[in-house]
Amino acid sequence: MATRRGGTGPRAARTGGAETGGAETARRVLALPEVATAVWVAAFVGLPSEPDTRPLLEALRARGTRVLLPAVREDLDLDFREFTGTLVPGALGTREPPPAAPAVDLAAADVVLVPAVAVDRLGRRLGRGGGSYDRALRRVHPRATLVAVVDDLAIVDRVPVDAHDLSVSVIVTATQVVRRGPV
């Protein structure tokens, strides 16, 4: 289990984040050099317990960055579709581009923004437990930058990892940007 600096567990870290900090989180993500030069950014639409990414999605589109969003398949794997401004209800309470939106290989993404229940300063992330992102991240181009977009309380001292887990290079919250420390 993740070792926390405060709070009472991963769920405690997620309360309130969706209602505050969306614009500030967007500002910090947009200021990343990797995002500034990206042609394609894969992102996510935050669930109620996750940071609000809507301001970020709109800002990326407004500056001409192409945005990919996940669509949950029946087998709980993720396909990625181009976000053109329209979202429809998806599986598991998600919002996603409509089925008619262009499908794009995740390997096209220069930057991949991922959610996490918890993440440590070494970039190890803990997801929601279904493995959807772990499987999807195997399709990312090796030069792509992986960025966890989380609430401040999701940053913990240590996250357990398995052999298949990939680490993120950058962690962004509404109040800070953390570059991965030495491994």
User: What are the pLDDT digits (tens) for 130-169?
Assistant: 778 888 999 999 999 999 999 999 999 999 888 778 899 9
Domain that holds residue 121: 10-179
Does residue 129 lie within any of the structural domains? yes
Does residue 131 lie within any of the structural domains? yes
Does residue 5 lie within any of the structural domains? no
**Strand pairing class (118-120; 155-156):** parallel
Q: Write the DSSP assignment of the chain as a string of letters.
A: -PBPSSSSSHHHHHTTTTTS-HHHHHHHHHTSHHHHT-SEEE--PPPTTS---HHHHHHHHHTT-EEEEEEE-TTS-EEEEE--S--EE-GGG-EE--TTSPB--GGG-SEEEE--SEEETT--EE--SS-HHHHHHTTS-TTPEEEEE--GGGEESB----TT----SEEE-SS-EEE----
Distance CA 53, CA 151 (A): 11
5 marked among binding-site residues: no
132 marked among binding-site residues: yes
Does residue 141 lie within any of the structural domains? yes
Backbone angles phi, psi at 155, to 5 degrees: -80, 120
pTM of the model: 0.86
Which pLDDT tens digit goes with each residue over 99-132?
Answer: 999 999 999 999 999 999 999 999 999 988 777 8
87 marked among binding-site residues: no
Does residue 75 lie within any of the structural domains? yes
Does residue 43 lie within any of the structural domains? yes
Does residue 1 lie within any of the structural domains? no
4 marked among binding-site residues: no
Give the residue from 10, 13, 9 showing the smallest Cα distance to 153: 13
138 marked among binding-site residues: no
Distance CA 92, CA 72 (A): 8
45 marked among binding-site residues: yes
Amino acid at 53: T
Give the residue from 48, 92, 90 showing the smallest Cα distance to 69: 90
CATH of residue 125: 3.40.50.10420
50 marked among binding-site residues: yes
130 marked among binding-site residues: yes
149 marked among binding-site residues: no
Which pLDDT tens digit goes with each residue over 42-72?
Answer: 999 999 889 999 999 999 999 999 999 999 9
Q: What total number of domains does the chain contain? A: 1
Which pLDDT tens digit goes with each residue over 76-101?
Answer: 889 999 999 999 999 878 899 999 99
128 marked among binding-site residues: yes
Does residue 28 lie within any of the structural domains? yes
22 marked among binding-site residues: no
Residues 154/117, Cβ–Cβ less than 8 Å: yes
Distance CA 169, CA 35 (A): 13
